[in-house]
Structures are given as C-alpha cells and as structure tokens.
Amino acid sequence: MFGYTLYILLFIVAALCLIPGSILVIVGGVLFGPVAGTLISLVAATVASALSFLLARWLGRDLLLKYVGHTATFQAIEKGIAQSGSDFLILTRLIPLFPYNIQNYAYGLTAIPFWRYTLISALTTLPGIFIYTYMASELVAQGITLPFVLKLSLAGVVLFALVQTAKGYARRKRVELPTKEI
C-alpha cells in the first residue's frame, strides 16, 4: 500500500511540474504489473490533471478574464468551449497536439465544468495508460522477443486507429483542430 501511495504522490508532483507522465506510467507497469499498474496510473493521472485544472482555475482564470476576457480571440475561445468543449477535450486528449500536462492547466483557464473535464480526461487517458503499462510489464517479463515485438506493433496500430477515429469524429462533429503552432 505504501508503494502505491508513494507512486501516486510522485506522479502528481511530476504532473504539476510538467514532467511527462508517460515515463511514470511505464514505471508503474514495471513495478505493479499491467492491471494494478493501469489502475494506479489512472488514479494518479486523474488526480494530477484535476489538481492542475483547479490550480489554473483558482489562480489564473480571474486574471485572464480581467486582462484578456474582453478580446475577440478570448471570446471566440470561450464560445468554442461553450459550444463543443467536451468534443474538443476528447480530441485534444486522444490526438497528441499539445502536451498533456499543459492541457491540464489550459483547460482550467476555460469555462469547461470541472467534473466533465475530469471524467473525460480519465476516460480518454485510459487506453494509452493501459497500452504503456501492459507493454512495459511485458518487456520486463519477456524481454525483447518476437511475441513482444508483435504485441508492440499491435499496440502501435491500436493507438494509430484511436487517433484516426478521433480525427474522423472531429470531422463529423465539425470540431476544428488547430493547424498552426501556438
């Protein structure tokens, strides 16, 4: 139990400090195996993203509204979040456009509701967390073997299909994804 708690706390601190969580998810797979590692990493990632969101909401949203809330650009972003915030959140979680940890803070500055954000974030991170955890666990158990390489290739295909499905969903819902770097 102590190991799980320590892992979750380290994961949260790392996420708040913008350290990529994928490294910790891999460590979770090595230390705890595919099932426990996935569940613990999911809890840790969800709590970390929720805390980042709340920090941004509490510390930054009022300042943001005060200084740029009146601008046309900010109003357009707020309108987009109000109209299709859940869809946009799903897409930005499934399609790696922006670093995950930065998204946590950025969404805290928007008007998207906290519980919707938290639930969608948890659901959309689950596939990647499972694949990373499972593959790390398999690598430790079997080493680099032909079955491992085949499973890794299959995992890559699954992640690619997930991204393509999300892009298709975006086109059907007419959610516009950014085409330029911010």
Structure tokens at 34: 């595919």
Give me the DSSP letters along the chain.
-HHHHHHHHHHHHHHHTT--HHHHHHHHHHHH-HHHHHHHHHHHHHHHHHHHHHHHHHHHHHHHHHHHTTSHHHHHHHHHHHHHHHHHHHHHHHS-SS-HHHHHHHHHTS---HHHHHHHHHHHHHHHHHHHHHHHHHHHHH-S-HHHHHHHHHHHHHHHHHHHHHHHHHHHHTPPPP-S--
The pLDDT tens digits for 3-37 are 899 999 999 999 999 898 888 999 999 999 999 99
Please determine, for residue 176, whether its predicted confidence score (pLDDT) is greater than 90: no
Contact 104, 20 (CB under 8 A): no
The pLDDT tens digits for 32-81 are 999 999 999 999 999 999 999 999 999 887 777 777 777 776 676 677 77
Cα 148 to Cα 30, 120, 133, 144, 151: the distances in Å are 15, 31, 13, 6, 5
Structure tokens at 154: 């299959």
Please determine, for residue 182, whether its predicted confidence score (pLDDT) is greater than 60: no
Cα 7 to Cα 11, 42, 119: the distances in Å are 6, 12, 22
Radius of gyration of the chain (CA): 18
Q: Tell which residue, 166, 43, 45, 61, has the closest CA to residue 105.
A: 61
